[in-house]
Amino acid sequence: MTLFDRVFSGNDAVYGLTEGAIDAAIAQHGEDKAVSFPDTAYSLPCYYSVTGTKVTTLKELKEALGVVKTLMTREKRLNDAFMSGIATALCAEFIEVLKYIDGATPYEEPCYGHLADAVIRELGVPLVTGDIPGVAVILGSAPSVEEGVALVKSYQAQGILVTLVGGIIDQVKEAGMNTGANVRVIPLGKDVTSVIHVVSVALRAALIFGNVTPGDAGTLMKYTMDRVPAFVNAFGPLDDVVVACGAGAIALGFPVITNETENIFRVPKSLIVQEDVSKFNATSLEARDIKIKITNIDIPVAFASAFEGEIIRRKDMQVEFDGSRVDCAELVHTCDASEVEDHKITVVGPEVDEMEEGSKNSIAYVVKVAGKNMQPDFEPVIERKFHNYINCIEGVYHTGQRDMQRIRISHAAYDAGFRIKHIGEVLYSQVKNEFDAVVDKCEVVIYTDPAECTRIRHEVAIPIFEKRDDRLANLTDESVDVYYSCILCQAFSPSHVCVVTPERLGLCGAVSWLDAKATNELDPNGPCQVITKERPINEDLGAYEDVDEAVQKFSQGALEHVTLYSIMQDPMTSCGCFECICGIEPFSNGVVIANREYAGMTPLGMTFSEMASMTGGGVQTPGFMGHGKHFIASKKFMKAEGGIERIVWMPKELKEFIADRLNATAKDLYGIDNFTDMIGDETVATDPEALVEFLTEKGHPALGLDPMM
Ligand code: SF4
Ligand code: NI
Ligand code: NI
């Protein structure tokens, strides 16, 4: 059989199964039965992105199958094979969606099945920063458990997001490996059709971040080829269905690497035979042109971003450090070069060996840095990275910051030889690695002696934190001379530009004005550039000629005017990875805000995902705007439309998170006490009538404002 025959026969087989499954579903439920995947605003995302048509019922699904049939041409040309590959993928999506009828939850631990839009939005920043350098799709059973696990771990150690389909899932389970989105190993499902759930992620990324028009299949495939760094590892023996799926992957630009040697035809850079499974990793990275940042740190356990989300349970921990119970601190301290001995690491107090198993202890680490270009403003920027650095250690867990951090070291890490001094090693290496433009010398002192921890916390750290807080509180848009651009997300949203100001952080929530300033200093030609603010047009809108010029330049002409403080007039664009989205609520003259974690309904009749699908891809959409959580309490939030008094609804959790700061802002701006109590949430109303009733009862100020449109 030729490769064409195999693709066509696999495609025919899946098509037959799909037709049978749809007919059976219609016989059982009737053709008006609704079909959908949970937590997505993109219908059946693959079919929608390829054709532009949303499928909502079994009847429409049957019609869609007719459209799929038209892709299944049978000339022995490459394009026919690719289209049959796409057709196979679409059939897989149809089979999968049938599993979700009636709100069923067809996937059980450890499998995920369909992934929500919110998961994709969360992946935005780590993908653009290269923190997740690629996406591996591993399909089938490895020749042995050991080889399968070794392959998965090799990707994990590189930070690559791994998705698993079929027999490999049982293999990693058998080996006792931890899986889950938090460790970047996601078992999708055991049927081969579940591979569609990762394809769906890639295609939705094009819609969410790339502003690709659904139905524009050419642009869609170019987007996935150029911007989604995915690849497939398929273990032989391959059946024709897998071969047909592989043709679909290749059509999207994802190379397929297999150890099958029989009946397979090599296609350079696309279909690659690698008999040696231990070389899959290297072959795949080369084929997809993925470069890995190498971090060699001298510690006895692994260090990789994939371990960032790892959780250490009480029963698995050797010792714990807990700033909420005992005195702890973490601090970056700028010193004179003469006071710092580079790479010196000192532990003052007991090591883990001398601590009782399971005990709670004090810890305070002071990272002394010196450098010609170092500024005290960069201290918190560096310090905030400690959370990420310490978490990337396999078997070590970190939460919190400043003097409220909490660290756990697992039995396994301890048994492997991990000690407190290694925390110093990690902090030293990472600070030198990432901040080499400002840090010339770095020394780490770690205190575990309780009296010393108390001294460091109260006499050294807290006074510094207070000084910093004062500086931050006085840091307003008016008080600085420049703003910064951020174009990191252009990797996925080619025309998106964030303008970052002291009072308006980047919409991802990860880039404050200080961060942007530090980034600019560290890499003057990098993503954050200085934007002057010398030629204001309208200060209420936050409109400046300088800002307009900058966004024109950085968006390559896609944007002309951007205001900083308006949601209606030339609002800032969104890439797709925003923490929150706000949208206007016409009945109350206000806005509703939803955060990414909130899965329920809002009074706009839309979920977060649906609201989010109204904007993104680097285009301006008046009335909807993505933003960071901390922007909500800013005096500049929607300043042009009256400010935070326009906020009428937020999910309860978000409201509680932001309450203190929002209340303070409302008091300052309008003299209102406990403003958050006037704001509705899902326990009060998820429809506009009930919301307006609640707002009226509370005397919410938005009701008296002019309509926004
Ligand atoms: Fe992306 Fe804007 Fe965040 Fe930069 S600030 S990473 S462009 S969302
Ligand atoms: Ni103009
Ligand atoms: Ni983004």
Write the CATH number for 663.
3.40.1470.10
CA distance linking residue 183 with residue 156, whole number of Å: 8
List the CATH number of the domain containing 9: 1.10.8.190
- In this structure, the answer to whether residues 512 and 625 fall within a common structural domain is yes
Contacts of 400 (CB under 8 A, 6+ apart): 323, 324, 387, 406
Give the closest residue (by CA) to ligand 1 atom 1.
489
- In this structure, the answer to whether residues 670 and 549 fall within a common structural domain is yes
Do the domain assignments include residue 709? no
- In this structure, the answer to whether residues 513 and 617 fall within a common structural domain is yes
DSSP SS3 for 598: coil
Pocket lining: 497 vs ligand 1, CB cutoff 6 Å: no
Q: What pLDDT score does 470 carry? A: 82
- In this structure, the answer to whether residues 443 and 564 fall within a common structural domain is no
Give the domain extent around 46: 3-103
Pocket lining: 127 vs ligand 1, CB cutoff 6 Å: no
Give the closest residue (by CA) to ligand 1 atom 5.
506
Pocket lining: 426 vs ligand 1, CB cutoff 6 Å: no
CA distance linking residue 172 with residue 152, whole number of Å: 8
Pocket lining: 494 vs ligand 1, CB cutoff 6 Å: no
Give the closest residue (by CA) to ligand 1 atom 6.
488
Do the domain assignments include residue 297? no
Do the domain assignments include residue 112? no
Q: Residue 581 — φ and ψ, nearest 5°?
A: -135, 140
Do the domain assignments include residue 614? yes
Do the domain assignments include residue 34? yes
**The ligand 1 atom nearest the CA atom of 129:** 6
Q: What is the DSSP string of 319-364?
A: EEEETTTS--EEEEEE--GGG--TT-EEEES--GGGSPTT-EE--E
Q: What pLDDT score does 179 carry? A: 95
Q: What pLDDT score does 576 carry? A: 86
Q: What pLDDT score does 665 carry? A: 96
**Ligand 3 center to 208 CA (angstroms):** 10
- In this structure, the answer to whether residues 374 and 462 fall within a common structural domain is yes
- In this structure, the answer to whether residues 423 and 345 fall within a common structural domain is yes
Pocket lining: 516 vs ligand 1, CB cutoff 6 Å: no
- In this structure, the answer to whether residues 344 and 446 fall within a common structural domain is yes
Is residue 49 a contact partner of residue 204, using CB atoms and an 8 Å limit?
yes
- In this structure, the answer to whether residues 259 and 323 fall within a common structural domain is no
**The ligand 1 atom nearest the CA atom of 128:** 6
Q: Residues 388-411, buried b or exposed e (16+ Cβ, 10 A)?
A: ebbbbbbbbbbeebbbebbbbbbb
CA distance linking residue 44 with residue 22, whole number of Å: 15
CA distance linking residue 540 with residue 564, whole number of Å: 9
SS3 content of the chain, % helix, strand, coil (to 5): 45, 15, 40
Which residues keep their CB under 5 angstroms from ion ligand 2? Answer: 560
List the CATH number of the domain containing 260: 3.40.50.2030
Is residue 654 a contact partner of residue 676, using CB atoms and an 8 Å limit?
no
Q: What pLDDT score does 263 carry? A: 78
Give the closest residue (by CA) to ligand 1 atom 3.
508
- In this structure, the answer to whether residues 50 and 178 fall within a common structural domain is no
Contacts of 339 (CB under 8 A, 6+ apart): 368, 370
Give the closest residue (by CA) to ligand 1 atom 8.
508
- In this structure, the answer to whether residues 628 and 540 fall within a common structural domain is yes
List the CATH number of the domain containing 421: 3.30.1650.10
Choose one of 103, 132, 157: the last residue of a domain.
103
Choose one of 62, 77, 103: the last residue of a domain.
103
Domain count, the chain: 4
Do the domain assignments include residue 293? no
Do the domain assignments include residue 248? yes
**Ligand 2 center to 139 CA (angstroms):** 52
Pocket lining: 626 vs ligand 1, CB cutoff 6 Å: no
- In this structure, the answer to whether residues 315 and 450 fall within a common structural domain is yes
Pocket lining: 489 vs ligand 1, CB cutoff 6 Å: yes
DSSP SS3 for 375: coil
Residues in the chain predicted with pLDDT less than 50, given as ranges, are none
- 71, containing H or E segment: helix 58-71
Q: Which two tokens stand for residue 220?
A: 């869609």
Helical segments of 342-449, H only: 379-384, 386-391, 411-415, 420-434
- In this structure, the answer to whether residues 550 and 664 fall within a common structural domain is yes
Do the domain assignments include residue 660? yes
CA distance readout (Å), 641 to 2, 31, 694: 64, 47, 22
Is residue 227 a contact partner of residue 491, using CB atoms and an 8 Å limit?
yes
Choose one of 467, 499, 528: the last residue of a domain.
467
Contacts of 307 (CB under 8 A, 6+ apart): 183, 391, 392, 393, 394, 395
